[in-house]
Structure 1
Amino acid sequence: MSIVDHLTPLFGTWRGTNRLRLMPTDDYQASDATATIGVTAARFVSIAYTWADGDAPQDGLLLVGGDATADGCQAVWVDSWHTGPTWMSFTGGVGDDGELRLRGSYPAESGPDWGWHIHVRPQDATVTMHNVVPEHAPYQVVELALEPDDLA
């Protein structure tokens, strides 16, 4: 099955809440969020979303392609707050539970690269993002919880 077929339940316009924290001991900061999800170039799924850091509007884009198998997907991600001036590349796939799990990494100021995981759950329209600090367990940084936008 293609990733387009697997993520079809998410196609459309959504609204919801984005929750962000930097460290695992921090409280989450919530903001209103939107997302538009659909097919791009016939074989890819684009997830374009907005959120806010305080009063500063932010946005991002996740572009996913490949097969909905355990290691059949590739993705690129950009976010006005998280990724800076470059995109991040990911590999991954869909687990037996239907969740798309993507894994990428980025350079640290010193020492080994850090990791970043993005999980997309079509069954409850949720996207989570996790920081992976070397020699520590991944921890959730972002939760984007969506519901259909009936006003769109």
Structure 2
Amino acid sequence: MTTPYDVPLGDGAGSYAFRLLPDDHFDEGASTVAVDAAASGRAVLVSYTWVHPVDGPQSGTLLLGVPGEDGAVSAAWVDSWHQRDVVALTGTGTATGAVVAYEYAPGWTWEIEVAVVDGGLTMVMRNGVPEGDDGPAARYDAMRGTWF
């Protein structure tokens, strides 16, 4: 059985890669995921674990809705390290994935892309940084997860 976006149900194992800043190297490690259907198939619940290189074991949960007729998607997300309060995200979806985002400070954005690739689940989190004294605006991968 699968969930919306054809994400396989159940528990999986995989890996993650994390960096704080765009010029940092990625710290990598083992990760787990649990996927469940929610609200009679109107959403998919993705709970994952990862390990911060300094702060230790972390976990997060994404509740991702299915696209409406206009392709719009809503989501709720919380992560013990990245985002300690539950936040609402919006974006667009397809049959095999979605991209949702929110603005966490003026000009600063956080984007989560979820996709099914070769039967496995991938999740990429991107930080959007506004132009400032330190340089031009940038959008970079901060976290990548892959589970089978």
Per the shorter chain, which TM-score range? 0.7 to 0.9
| Correspondence for 1:116 | 110
| Correspondence for 1:40 | 38
- Distance in structure 1 (CA, Å) of the matches to 2:116 and 2:69: 15
| Correspondence for 1:127 | 123
Displacement of 1:41 in angstroms is 2.5
- Distance in structure 1 (CA, Å) of the matches to 2:25 and 2:17: 9
- Distance in structure 2 (CA, Å) of the matches to 1:69 and 1:133: 31
The 1:68–1:127 alpha-carbon spacing in structure 2 relative to 1, beyond 3 Å, is farther
| Correspondence for 2:140 | 139
Structure-1-length-normalised TM-score: 0.81
Q: SS state of the match for residue 122, structure 1? A: strand
Give 5+ residue unaligned stretches, structure 1. Answer: 148-152
Give 5+ residue unaligned stretches, structure 2. Answer: 132-136
| Correspondence for 2:104 | 106
- Distance in structure 1 (CA, Å) of the matches to 2:124 and 2:48: 13
Please say if residues 17 and 146 of structure 1, whose CA atoms lie closer than 8 Å, have aligned partners that are also in contact. Answer: yes
% identity of equivalent residues: 32
The 1:69–1:121 alpha-carbon spacing in structure 2 relative to 1, beyond 3 Å, is farther
Structure-2-length-normalised TM-score: 0.83
Please say if residues 114 and 132 of structure 1, whose CA atoms lie closer than 8 Å, have aligned partners that are also in contact. Answer: yes
- Distance in structure 1 (CA, Å) of the matches to 2:69 and 2:99: 10
| Correspondence for 1:83 | 83
Instruction: Name the Cα RMSD after superposition.
Output: 2.1
- Distance in structure 2 (CA, Å) of the matches to 1:70 and 1:121: 19
Please say if residues 69 and 95 of structure 1, whose CA atoms lie closer than 8 Å, have aligned partners that are also in contact. Answer: no
| Correspondence for 2:11 | 13
Report the number of matched residues: 138
Q: SS state of the match for residue 13, structure 2? A: strand
Moved over 4 A (4+): none
Structure 2 residue 71 is matched with structure 1 residue 74: no
The 1:73–1:128 alpha-carbon spacing in structure 2 relative to 1, beyond 3 Å, is same
Please say if residues 4 and 44 of structure 2, whose CA atoms lie closer than 8 Å, have aligned partners that are also in contact. Answer: no
